[in-house]
Amino acid sequence: MVYEATRKSLDSHPMPEWFANARLGIFIHWGPYSVPGWAATPGDPAQIIAEKGWAYWFANNPYAEWYGNSLRIPGSPTAIHHRQTYGADFPYERFGALFSEAAAAWDPNDWADLFARAGARYVVIVTKHHDGFLLWPSRTPNPRIVGWHTQRDLVGELAQAVRARGMRFGVYYSGGLDWTFNAEPIRDFPDLLGGLPYGREYAAYVDAHYRELIERYQPDVLWNDIGYPPGPALNRLLADYYNRFPQGVVNDRFSQLDLGAPGSLKRRLLLKVIGGLAVMMMKGDNPAAPSTSHSDFITPEYRTFQKTPPKKWESTRGLGASFGYNRNEGDQHLLGQAALQESLAQIVAQGGNLLLNVGPKADGEIPAGQRERLEGLGAWMRQQGWA
């Protein structure tokens, strides 16, 4: 089948059997934020937002991978920690070189062996998070920060190791947020949407990266986050992807929002409405955000469905309250083996997959508590005949 660059044609893409029956995937958040490896620990992310709101969430963000944004909020726990630990004149950008230096010790085969023992069928790595740092030496480097990428091809090495053990490989890419294109901190949900860099320069930058990732790594999963620049380029990209890799899948976070010009009435009204919907979503029974783009599966975060959804889904979460490595999370902050097994069993019973995240240290070491839970989950899955 040849796919056309239309929503109707893309929506005809059938769900590949491998993903429909995968049950477990591994998510990896690893980057410059892994060097400080620090975030506050206020509790469960979904509960925090539902009870205390988005402004409290961003100021006390438990996601260590959001270190760069939390640092921009004066008086936040991260800003206070950073000043006390590194000094007031230590910019986030200095973590890039420190991360690349530490990552030289990383062994992708150790990760791949562990993920295979855990019973994972696929692995998705963050190739670019919201800080804009690239985990591969792209031919389209960041135009705002010189050298804001690794020289070592971390993405390619992991892809090779994972596939050598019979697992599928996917790429995460932050298509919406890139803090190198926006200097303003995100303090509340309207800031999140209002700060999305939608200019032509950024749209071309994102398209170039996706096409390079597809060409170089032949990903089985395209896992986008926080939206995609508006315009027809997205449908063309997805059609080209399916035509080359019909067994590939894309998630539901490619939504394209035209919010109008900065300061316009349209923009103010849309931000208010969408912000209200976001709060309702966190408090309600339906944890999946509505999508304006094509997708193969939906992706609730730190939440599951009360009832089996009509579409293939994938629940994603960290073993603790953070995706990136957080040195403040001890064993008591991580899911216990029984809770982890129960969660996976419930998700699978409702037709979903669990995309379980690990947050390695900057040198690639996966903390002992995380390793132990992956090993235990794999043993349990083998008992169930799932691995």
Which pLDDT score, from 0 to 100, does residue 243 have?
98
Residue 149 main-chain phi, psi, to 5 deg = -170, 165
Which pLDDT score, from 0 to 100, does residue 292 have?
80
Cα–Cα distance, 303 to 46 (Å, whole number): 7
Residues 6+ apart with CB under 8 A from 197: 178, 181, 182, 229
Count Cβ neighbours within 10 Å for each residue of 189-199 and write b for 16 or more, e otherwise: bbbbbbbbbbe
- What are the structural domain ranges in the chain? 7-384
Q: In the predicted model, what is the mean pLDDT of residues 29-38?
A: 98
Highest mean pLDDT among 20-24, 194-198, 230-234, 255-259: 20-24
Q: At residue 384, does pLDDT exceed 60?
A: yes
* % of the chain beyond a pLDDT of 90: 81
Q: At residue 290, does pLDDT exceed 80?
A: no
Residues 6+ apart with CB under 8 A from 82: 36, 71, 90
Structural contact between residues 122 and 20, judged by C-beta atoms closer than 8 angstroms: no
Which pLDDT score, from 0 to 100, does residue 282 have?
56
Tell me the pTM: 0.95
Cα–Cα distance, 255 to 222 (Å, whole number): 14
Task: Find the helix packing angle between 154-164 and 200-217, rounded to 10°.
Answer: 40
Q: At residue 281, does pLDDT exceed 60?
A: no
Which pLDDT score, from 0 to 100, does residue 82 have?
98
Structural contact between residues 71 and 82, judged by C-beta atoms closer than 8 angstroms: yes
Q: At residue 133, does pLDDT exceed 90?
A: yes
Q: At residue 285, does pLDDT exceed 70?
A: no
* Domain 7-384 superfamily per CATH: Glycosidases (3.20.20.80)
Residue 154 main-chain phi, psi, to 5 deg = -65, -40
- Which tens digits make up the pLDDT trace of 84-120? 999 999 999 999 999 999 999 999 999 999 999 999 9
Could you tell me whether strands 352-358 and 122-128 are parallel, antiparallel, or unpaired per DSSP bridges? unpaired
Residues 6+ apart with CB under 8 A from 181: 132, 144, 197, 199, 202
Which pLDDT score, from 0 to 100, does residue 272 have?
73
Q: What is the CA radius of gyration of the chain?
A: 20
- Which tens digits make up the pLDDT trace of 48-76? 888 898 899 999 999 999 999 999 999 99
Structural contact between residues 1 and 331, judged by C-beta atoms closer than 8 angstroms: no
Residue whose pair of structure tokens reads 């539902």 in the numeric block: 50
Q: Which residue has the higher pLDDT, 275 or 122?
A: 122
- Which tens digits make up the pLDDT trace of 308-334? 999 999 999 999 999 999 999 999 999
- SS3 label, residue 346: helix
Q: Which residue has the higher pLDDT, 271 or 20?
A: 20
Cα–Cα distance, 337 to 111 (Å, whole number): 20
Going by C-alpha positions, the residue among 276, 300, 271, 302 that lies closest to residue 286 is 300
Structural contact between residues 177 and 130, judged by C-beta atoms closer than 8 angstroms: yes
Which regions of 155-286 does DSSP assign to beta strands (E)? Answer: 168-174, 221-225, 249-250
Residue whose pair of structure tokens reads 């944890």 in the numeric block: 287
Q: What is the overall mean pLDDT for the chain?
A: 93
Cα–Cα distance, 252 to 123 (Å, whole number): 18
Host H or E run for residue 282? helix 265-283
